[in-house]
Structure 1
Amino acid sequence: MDLSRIDARLLSRPGATKALHEKWGWMVYWVGGRQFACEFVASPDAKPPYAGRHLLSLKCDPDCILELSAEHPEAVLPGYYSDGRTWVSLDLDAGLPGDLVLDLCDMSYDLVFSKLPKRVQREIAGA
């Protein structure tokens, strides 16, 4: 999937920002000081099945993770370097439907935004 479409979708959400995590070389997306997505290429030395893959990690509903993993076992992996029960890593080169990837971007933002303090939610919504 075209990375520019993903980037535009992630940044279209209120208060969303991105910054390069220089130590890791990952592009990290934030809302209210909390991460809701990151895009990166896993090191070739990473553990299988992550090694060398171009990944997008997103916060995700646990039930949805189970469904996605069953439907797309080669493309949907437990969250790399995060809690695999609530984060998922998508292989961006595995042919996942674009609409599915964009919907998961929205879900990730919504899940993280909903956990922000109400005051922060109001500040972001008013921005």
Structure 2
Amino acid sequence: MDKQTVDALCRKQKGSTHDYQMDWEADRYHIGGKIFAMLGADSKGVPILTLKCDPARADELREIYEGIVPGYHMNKTHWNSHYFDTDIPEELWEKLIEHSYTQVLQKLPKRVQQEVVL
């Protein structure tokens, strides 16, 4: 997977918005004002994509894939960071992005959810 493809997958989520956080040197993707994905780097400058995840699934993914670790600078229970060029299958990336988007969308107020869906 590459950054350009991840960027396109994040931007195609319905109602998503994008900004760049200079202090973090990271691209952030939002739904309803809440982050669902962050494309940046770890402390060594290695590119990562950080996504929200159901806690049970987050642990399972970390056990299966070496390239998935607890969220870098995020709540380790609810966020995973994903390294590029690792053992994560290409077809899984889009599913993980969609799962993160859905996790955040479901926590938004109903009014905001309806605005996004319309």
TM-score of Structure 1 vs Structure 2, range by shorter chain: over 0.9
Identical positions, percent = 36
Secondary structure of 1:58's counterpart equals strand
CA-to-aligned-CA distance 1:2-32 (integer Å, 9 cap, x gap): 2222111111111101110011110000010
Name the structure 1 match of 2:33: 33
- Structure 2 unaligned residues grouped into runs of 5+: none
Letter of the aligned partner of 1:12 in structure 2?
Answer: K
Letter of the aligned partner of 1:90 in structure 2?
Answer: H
Q: TM-score, normalised by structure 1?
A: 0.88
Supply the distance in 2 between the matched residues of 1:93 and 1:18 (Cα, whole angstroms): 24
1:53 Cα deviation after fit: 2.1
Name the structure 2 match of 1:66: 59
Supply the distance in 1 between the matched residues of 2:46 and 2:70 (Cα, whole angstroms): 13
Letter of the aligned partner of 1:55 in structure 2?
Answer: I
Q: RMSD of the TM alignment (CA)?
A: 1.1
Task: Note if 1:104 corresponds to 2:96.
Answer: yes
Task: Note if 1:124 corresponds to 2:116.
Answer: yes
4+ residue runs over 3 A deviation: none
Write out aligned runs for 1:13-24 (5 A): 13-24=13-24
Name the structure 2 match of 1:76: 68
1:92 Cα deviation after fit: 1.3
Number of residues paired by the alignment? 118
Highest CA radius of gyration, 1 or 2? Answer: 1
Name the structure 2 match of 1:92: 84
Q: TM-score, normalised by structure 2?
A: 0.94
CA-to-aligned-CA distance 1:15-59 (integer Å, 9 cap, x gap): 101110011110000010000000112232xxxxxxx32110000
Supply the distance in 1 between the matched residues of 2:42 and 2:74 (Cα, whole angstroms): 13
